[in-house]
């Protein structure tokens, strides 16, 4: 089988949420494999630093500071990308996150839920995926083919305690992925596909204190997660790269509407 089937060389990829722990690892990998990566993040300094790191390593990248929930700014982003690149090949929606007010702690009840925080989490995770697709779809249509990869979570299919807002919004991403796979293939043809990657538990800036103690040991929640993960560890960012590469490449051209778990077996474990 020709290696060209898996080649990413020359592909123009927009990546939102690019500067996070997982996003930056994926963007560095894509650039190292020959893709032109268009980095999108909320903080200019972070995406600019990542762009510079990619360029120093010999890769190709550009950077834009954009709030993915702001339709006006996304329209401006689309115009800038169109003027610089013309079209794009792939859109990866990596922007997302959680906040304390949308979490129900063990010492709280549902009545303590902060409605404003919940709304912000849903806006970031769900609208922060829908709106970039809406804004940048014309750049895929002009290319005659499209590949969209959303970032879901194990919390979507296996609702976790505490993180109600995050889990609900990621469940919406799974549904959106399948809906758009049918919608786009039906209206734009078989060369338009939509899939998602659902990471299991990876240590990030947002969850490190929830899962590990200052000395590196596991919290009670961290222990519960590891005990339900057959591979008996948290994921490393590099563990996502194989699934990412496959979905970005032509090796997956007959794959659409899927949510691929990269979770060390967490979703397969029944507890008995």
For 18-53, the pLDDT digits (tens) are 999 999 999 999 999 999 999 999 999 999 999 999
Q: What pLDDT shows up at residue 272?
A: 61
Q: Mean pLDDT over residues 152-158, rounded?
A: 90
Phi, psi of 144 (to 5 degrees): 85, 0
> How would you classify residue 21: left for phi > 0, otherwise alpha for psi between -120 and 50, otherwise beta?
alpha
Tens of pLDDT, residue by residue over 95-114, are 999 888 888 988 999 999 99
Query: Is there a contact between 243 and 195 (Cβ–Cβ < 8 Å)?
Result: no
What pTM was estimated for this model as a whole?
Answer: 0.94
Q: What pLDDT shows up at residue 169?
A: 96
76-84 long-range contacts (CB < 8 A, ≥24 apart) are: 77/40, 77/135, 77/136, 78/135, 78/136, 78/138, 78/139, 81/14, 81/38, 81/136, 81/139, 82/138, 82/139
The verdict on whether 166 is a catalytic residue reads yes
The catalytic position among 29, 126, 166, 269 is 166
Distance CA 186, CA 16 (A): 26
């Amino acid at each position: 089988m020709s290696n060209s089937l898996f080649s990413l060389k020359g592909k123009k990829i927009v990546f939102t949420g690019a500067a996070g722990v997982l996003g930056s690892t994926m963007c560095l990998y894509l650039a190292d494999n020959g893709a032109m990566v268009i980095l999108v993040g909320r903080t200019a300094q972070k995406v600019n630093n990542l762009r510079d790191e990619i360029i120093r390593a010999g890769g190709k990248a550009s950077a834009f500071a954009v709030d993915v929930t702001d339709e006006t700014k996304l329209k401006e982003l689309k115009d800038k990308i169109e003027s610089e690149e013309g079209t794009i090949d792939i859109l990866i929606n990596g922007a997302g996150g959680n906040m304390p007010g949308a979490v129900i702690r063990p010492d709280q009840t549902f009545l303590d839920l902060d409605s404003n925080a919940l709304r912000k989490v849903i806006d970031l995770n769900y609208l922060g995926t829908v709106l970039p697709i809406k804004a940048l779809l014309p750049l895929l249509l002009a290319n005659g083919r499209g590949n969209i990869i959303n970032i879901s979570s194990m919390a979507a299919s296996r609702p976790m305690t505490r993180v109600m807002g995050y889990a609900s919004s990621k469940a919406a991403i799974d549904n959106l992925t399948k809906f758009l796979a049918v919608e786009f293939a039906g209206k734009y043809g078989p060369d338009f596909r939509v899939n998602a990657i659902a990471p299991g538990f990876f240590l990030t800036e947002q969850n490190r204190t929830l899962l590990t103690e200052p000395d590196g040991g596991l919290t009670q929640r961290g222990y519960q997660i590891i005990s339900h993960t057959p591979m008996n560890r948290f994921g490393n960012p590099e563990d996502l790269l194989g699934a990412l590469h496959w979905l970005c490449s032509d090796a997956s051209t007959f794959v659409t509407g899927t949510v691929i778990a990269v979770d060390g077996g967490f979703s397969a474990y029944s507890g008995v």
